[in-house]
Structure 1
Amino acid sequence: MESPGGAELCFPHLVNISCKKPMLPQSDAMLIYILLSVISVLTAALNLLVIISISHFRQLHSPTNLLILSLAVSDFLVGLLLMPIEILLTEACWFLGDLMCALYYVVVFIITSSSVGNMVLISIDRYLAICEPLRYTTRVTLDRTKICVCLCWIGSVLYNSMIFKDFLRQPDSQNSCYGECVVVLNYITGAIDFVFTFTGPITVIIFLYMRVFVVAVSQAQAMRSHVAAVTLQRAKTATAKKSEIKAARTLGVVVFVFLICFCPYYVPALVGQDIEDSRSSSTFVDWLLNFNSCLNPVIYAFFYPWFRKSIKVIVTLKMLQPDSCDLKIL
């Protein structure tokens, strides 16, 4: 059924209160569906490879890789859950009810803020590894890293439950018509979220990586100036330093891409506007935010040889062999 204006309604039997479907050309809609579906499958598949690699091979069980694993879990959930729903809602009609709308947004923000938290933890890890190498192994252990990761996810759940407590009570309070799923963070709530989810973490990340960059440059200069006098033991130490610096550079690229993908979403908060998130607006911004989850494992594959080796073992099913978890990946 069509509305008096000619547009098709989401709920034809509710003429006066139903939302209207956007009129997209069939060819354009098909192209969008195919493109977004490919991105969703790639995101889920690539991050699943990261999860399997780090979980399966004992040689990869390090504090840094545990943080990468936590980030891959959040990115995997984006590809498995959030992107498919975004695809289904390209036509802007929400058919799952108000409660599911509220839960959907809570899950979206939990995954987003946990990703930000993981980025902060990764930055702290690289800072300690480069700037305080003598105390790194004693201060950063697997058990402590596991606790930090758990606290990151638990804190994300509690924080977003508090932010959206009113929205969970009345999930339809901000909808302008029936069949719409929208959440609008008012100026106060948006400002709090802007500080705790964006400016605060980003400030910490940038500060730590600036310190890492300065120390890494000074270490590289020191190693070049003493290259003639190094012993075998010092050569091993220099190799370890080089490995740490390479890891910092790789994760720095991850953080840089993260900033590019996240900044457009928070532009309204920068200019003092309410942050509105709905199924009918800011489609490009939403997908740019989600696309970050697809880019992270691509960066790992490009920079990390261990990830490429583990992919070969997984794809060729060699990981099903006995004692495959003890294979040399590094």
Structure 2
Amino acid sequence: MVLIAVDRYVAICEPLQYINKITIRRVKVTVCLCWACSVSYNVVLMKVGVTQLSHNCHGECNVLVTYVVGVIDSFVTFISPVTVIIVLYGRVFVVAVSHARAMKAHPFRASQLGTINKSELKAARTLGTVIFVFLLCFCPYYFPLFAGGDNNVAFAMPFLLWLMYLNSCVNPLIYAFFYPWFRKSIKLIVTLQIMQPGSSDINILSS
């Protein structure tokens, strides 16, 4: 989501430089680096931070880490990325509003002021909704850690964990709600129309 936020920031705040800055090669390299850093970080975290494995019931395995490692992990994987996203979107919002006001006051100068494509703004609003839902799903999970790791909330941890997992389920629904082409793609997949000859020529962007 940080990478997408950066993409939306460049697209809206620096539209003339977008083609030069956001290239396919850079996107591929950045995504690969993102996954490589994520895997490496989690390997190191499991190697250094794990204190013990607990089994409260048959088939369950809880990984326990030290409080300090937990705080560091929350800053690296939650607070820092969310801060970057909020800062970028704050800038995007300010620029979008200023452009809209300028074009409303001077319609004939719209091209000189840098017109923001409606699809770019819609993508920004969609990502904003995704981030809001992300915070709703993840904040409850991290709250006990910053509350001092109170054992009184230990019974709720399975629920908080599943709430965090629920975010991955909700994201496709958000995209389906905002984008007709996404809904059409899902329909083609569910109805097995993608198995028919010529399915690759279907125009999902048409109404």
Q: TM-score, normalised on structure 1?
A: 0.55
Rounded Cα–Cα distance in structure 1 between residues aligned with 2:53 and 2:22:
45
Instruction: Give the deviation of 1:259 after TM superposition.
Output: 0.8
Q: 1:140-289 maps to which residues of 2 (within 5 A)?
A: 140-166=22-48, 173-175=52-54, 179=58, 181-227=61-107, 229=108, 234=111, 238=115, 241-273=117-149, 282-289=157-164
Give the 3-state SS of the residue equivalent to 1:273 in structure 2.
coil
Count the aligned residue pairs: 201
Q: 1:48-127 maps to which residues of 2 (within 5 A)?
A: 119-127=1-9
CA contact (8 A) 2:54 2:61 kept: yes
Select the structure of larger CA radius of gyration. Answer: 1
Paired letter, 2:146:
L
CA contact (8 A) 1:261 1:292 kept: yes
Q: Deviations over 1:282-330 (max 9, x none)?
A: 1210111011111101100110121022223333433234443343223
Q: Does 1:315 align with 2:198?
A: no
- In structure 2, relative to structure 1, the CA distance for the partners of 1:325 and 1:272 (3 Å cut) is same
Instruction: Give the deviation of 1:222 after TM superposition.
Output: 2.2
Instruction: Give the deviation of 1:266 after TM superposition.
Output: 0.7
Paired letter, 1:273:
G
- In structure 2, relative to structure 1, the CA distance for the partners of 1:155 and 1:321 (3 Å cut) is same
- Larger fraction in helix: 2
Paired letter, 1:250:
T
Instruction: Give the deviation of 1:141 after TM superposition.
Output: 1.6
Among residues 16, 21, 26, which one is paired with 1:134 in the alignment?
Answer: 16
- In structure 2, relative to structure 1, the CA distance for the partners of 1:245 and 1:269 (3 Å cut) is same
Which consecutive aligned stretches of 4+ in structure 1 deviate over 6 angstroms post-superposition?
none
Rounded Cα–Cα distance in structure 2 between residues aligned with 1:248 and 1:183:
36
Rounded Cα–Cα distance in structure 1 between residues aligned with 2:49 and 2:91:
40
Instruction: Give the deviation of 1:174 after TM superposition.
Output: 4.0
Q: Deviations over 1:224-268 (max 9, x none)?
A: 2233x379xx5xx84x61110111001110011001100011112
- In structure 2, relative to structure 1, the CA distance for the partners of 1:167 and 1:196 (3 Å cut) is closer
Q: TM-score, normalised on structure 2?
A: 0.85
Rounded Cα–Cα distance in structure 2 between residues aligned with 1:183 and 1:254:
28
Give the 3-state SS of the residue equivalent to 1:216 in structure 2.
helix
Q: Structure 1 residues 243-252 or 266-275, which shifts more?
A: 266-275
Q: Deviations over 1:108-149 (max 9, x none)?
A: xxxxxxxxxxx1111111111111111111111222112111
By relative contact order (CA 8 Å, sep 6+), the higher-ranking structure is 1
CA contact (8 A) 2:13 2:92 kept: yes
Rounded Cα–Cα distance in structure 2 between residues aligned with 1:187 and 1:318:
51
Rounded Cα–Cα distance in structure 1 between residues aligned with 2:33 and 2:150:
29
Equivalence for 1:328: 203
Give the 3-state SS of the residue equivalent to 1:282 in structure 2.
helix
Paired letter, 1:318:
Q
CA contact (8 A) 1:187 1:274 kept: no
Identity %, equivalent residues: 56
Gaps of 5+ in 2: none
Rounded Cα–Cα distance in structure 1 between residues aligned with 2:178 and 2:120:
13
- In structure 2, relative to structure 1, the CA distance for the partners of 1:161 and 1:242 (3 Å cut) is same
Q: Deviations over 1:32-91 (max 9, x none)?
A: xxxxxxxxxxxxxxxxxxxxxxxxxxxxxxxxxxxxxxxxxxxxxxxxxxxxxxxxxxxx
Rounded Cα–Cα distance in structure 2 between residues aligned with 1:178 and 1:312:
41
Rounded Cα–Cα distance in structure 1 between residues aligned with 2:11 and 2:104:
20
Paired letter, 1:200:
S
Paired letter, 1:288:
L
CA contact (8 A) 1:262 1:289 kept: yes
Rounded Cα–Cα distance in structure 2 between residues aligned with 1:274 and 1:152:
33
